[in-house]
Structure 1
Amino acid sequence: MAIVISLDQYWELMQEAAVLQHSINSNFEKSWQYSFQLGHGIEKEIWINPHISLSITNYRSKNALVLKLPERKHCLEFCFYLQGSCQISSLGEIKAGESFVFSGGIAPQDCLQHPEREKRLIISIHMGVDYFNRLISPFLSTKNSIAYRLSSPTEDWVYRKSLPINPIIQLVLQQILNCQYQGVTKQLYLEGKILELISLQIDQLDQTHRKSSPKLPNKDIDCIYEASEILLQRLSTPPSLTELAKLVGINDRKLKQGFREVFGTTVFGYLRDRRLEQAQELLLSGQMQVKDAAKTVGYASPTSFNTAFRKKFGIAPSLYCTQKQI
């Protein structure tokens, strides 16, 4: 029988049953013994510095686990499944030998499912988006890159991608698992390996991205990203298509072509989706009624807003508010 719990309940179980173990001669590393209700094994957390943490999950599940994740602020995450599998509502199935990347920002409600009686070995890296941005911003020459999408503070939780773990990444993961150093030497060694791992992962993402990359030159693609940022800043009173094109220095045709190639939708489609996502956040916060949220994001007609909201999220905004209050 599956255990269905919230994220808070999960950590309560871990804290109740766990004997907190601090590594010898270390105040940056700790381990939790898994609750008997969840399985048998260890979860280890190592703080490399105030901005980077490394988690190693090594256990065998007892029951199937359904973990309900709330909307939450989330850092940049690189996760590698060496053994085991999971099902993530927003991403799909992750199998042994695969990895996934989540960009930082406001993570929506999600659901993570693990099967019963399965051996699980997972390495996860968590890094603050601001710290990542400071690391890579001096080297960014174009917005048409995965690194930019991961570091951009204007893009909230938009990038999710699963990838196979290639042999080079597998080697670095094994070096992390087999690290024999202690204390500050261990921190320095692991920091180097983590940065190497992230570099390899971004290179892998870029190669995948380039295979389906837009045909527009980088200069025009930068204009497209600039146009998207203008729309984000002016959701309720957006410029016309012609005005937007002039603001970023390209013609209407390139603007429309660029949005389709970069974002996979029209300029209007991009604006509509961002408006509805903003309205969703306002309704979730409880700050506004439906009609006020609709007006705030630029919908003059409540009927049009209700129709668009239902089409995107599969639920009427009034019912969405009601469910969030339960």
Structure 2
Amino acid sequence: MIFRDDYGDGYFKSITFDFGVGIIIADCLLKKDLCIEFTKEKINPLKLLFNLNAPITLLGSDIEHRLTRLESLMFSPATSESQTLKFTKDKPTTFLCIHINRKVFEEKLEQFIGDMSVDLETLFRDLNGINKFYYKSFYTLEISELIEEIKSCDLSDFMQSVFLEGKTYEILTLFLQQFTEKRNEPDDLKLLRKSTITKIEAAVDIIKKELDIRISVNALAKRVGLNRNTLQAGFKQLFSTSVNEYMRDHKIERAKVLLENSDLNITEITYKIGINSEAISQNYLKNATD
């Protein structure tokens, strides 16, 4: 749905895949407040809502969840309930919602049920969505990047469908992995402040733009205005990895691109990714070619 000029600028798009999986993607600036109601259904789908911009509010009969930027909500109200998503005018609205009909999705999951965690098996075995369930958390910046890839997809027809379905399953996999890990380690969870997330994103930009420069965690933390421990904890929560591992992975990916698409020799490539030691550079390049 493309909005008319009098209602706002932007779009809401709904796309359906096989096995009961589909997505709603939105990127718009509304001129009026907007509410979308999910009506009561006999088979209640599981929904995963990822907010990328201005706050979104989910209202139910006895609940209210407000999602700020980079917050997610996995939810399935009881079959007797309806829910309403509320969006505010004059604020940029960007979100992705994955919805899963668990009764249809069961065919895809059946061979994996024995290998799933108890939490996931309980969640997906509720085929009709009878039990009420809400799980709110921050999601990783890796998921945010995948959503941006979905938004910017310029393919069409069959290729578009394959691309979007693949990215949707990548997001689903990363989110469920994060969900399982956090359910097993509840004492380690701390909500990140919005200002902290912004500074971590600034650190990510520095890493990506300055791959040819060797930068320590302490120096990076100082540049974005965080202490080392907060930066490390933020990367762990948003990326499930340490700062140094994140740097290493991006250097390896950059080395792969240069090896495949440039005429640079190995020495030139190592300088391009900020690796000067021969022993270390050989290890990086080995990983890049594996």
- TM-score normalised by structure 1 residue count: 0.49
Which secondary structure state, in structure 1, belongs to the residue aligned with residue 17 of structure 2? Answer: strand
Q: Does 1:190 align with 2:164?
A: yes
Give 1:203 deviation, angstroms: 0.8
Secondary structure at the aligned position of 1:145 is classed as helix
What does residue 90 of structure 2 align with? 117
For 1:207 and 1:104, locate their aligned partners in 2 and report how far apart those are by CA, in whole Å. Answer: 23
Decide which of 44, 48, 53 is 1:78's aligned counterpart. 48
Change (3 A) 1:66 1:183: closer
Over the residues paired in the alignment, what is the CA RMSD in angstroms? 2.7
CA contact (8 A) 1:58 1:122 kept: yes
Question: Match of 1:138?
Answer: 111
Structure 1 residue 119 displacement after superposition: 0.9
Taking a change above 3 Å as real, the CA distance of residues 68 and 191 of structure 1, as seen in their structure-2 partners, is closer
- Equivalent residue for 1:93, pick from 55, 66, 69: 66
2:268 maps to: none
| Structure 1 stretches lacking a partner, 5+ long | 1-31, 214-326
Counterpart among 189, 200, 204 of residue 174 in structure 2: 200
Higher relative contact order structure (alpha carbons within 8 Å, sequence separation ≥ 6): 2
Change beyond 3 A, Cα 1:138–1:186: same
Q: Would the aligned equivalents of 1:40 and 1:60 in 2 still touch at CA under 8 Å? A: yes
Instruction: Determine the structure 2 residue equivalent to 1:153.
Output: 127
1:4-42 residue CA offsets vs partner (Å, 9 max, x unmatched) = xxxxxxxxxxxxxxxxxxxxxxxxxxxx12255643321
Distance in structure 1 (CA, Å) of the matches to 2:25 and 2:81: 24
Whole-Å separation in 1 of the counterparts to 2:86 and 2:27? 17
Alignment of 1:221-240 (within 5 A): none
1:103 aligns with 2:72: no
Shift of 1:93: 0.6
Does the 8 A contact of 1:55 with 1:125 survive in 2? yes
Partner residue in 2 for 1:65? 34
Report what 1:302 is aligned to.
Answer: none
Alpha-carbon distance change, 72 to 131 in structure 1, aligned in 2, over 3 angstroms: closer
Cα distance in 1 between the residues matched to 2:182 and 2:52:
21
Answer whether contact 2:117 2:180 (CA < 8 A) is retained.
no
Matched residues in 1 for 2:36 and 2:99: separation? 19
Letter in 2 for 1:51: G
> For residues 92-128 of structure 1, what are the alpha-carbon distances to aligned partners after superposition, in whole Å with 9 as ceiling and x for unaligned?
1111211211237625133433222111111122222
1:41 counterpart = 2:10? yes
Q: Distance in 2 between matches of 1:104 and 1:189?
A: 30
Identity %: 16
Matches within 5 A, 1:166-181: 166-181=140-155
SS class of match (1:79): strand
Taking a change above 3 Å as real, the CA distance of residues 66 and 51 of structure 1, as seen in their structure-2 partners, is closer
Q: What does residue range 272-291 of structure 1 map to in structure 2 within 5 Å?
A: none
Consecutive unaligned residues in structure 2, runs of 5 or more:
188-290
Query: Following the alignment from structure 2 to structure 1, what is the Cα–Cα distance between the partners of residues 127 and 17?
Result: 23
Q: Distance in 2 between matches of 1:130 and 1:104?
A: 16
What are the within-5 Å matches in structure 2 for residues 225-304 of structure 1?
A: none
Q: Which amino acid in the other structure matches residue 146 of structure 1? A: L
Secondary structure of the 2:142 match is helix
Change (3 A) 1:151 1:38: farther
Q: 1:162: Cα distance to partner?
A: 1.8
- Note if contact 2:19-2:105 (Cα within 8 Å) is conserved in structure 1: no
Look up the match of 1:128: 101
Structure 1's 212 and 133: CA in aligned 2 closer, same or farther, altered over 3 A? farther
Name which of 9, 18, 21 aligns with 1:52: 21
Q: Which whole-Å CA distance do the structure 2 matches of 1:111 and 1:177 have between them?
A: 24
Cα 1:122–1:41 shift into 2, 3 Å:
same
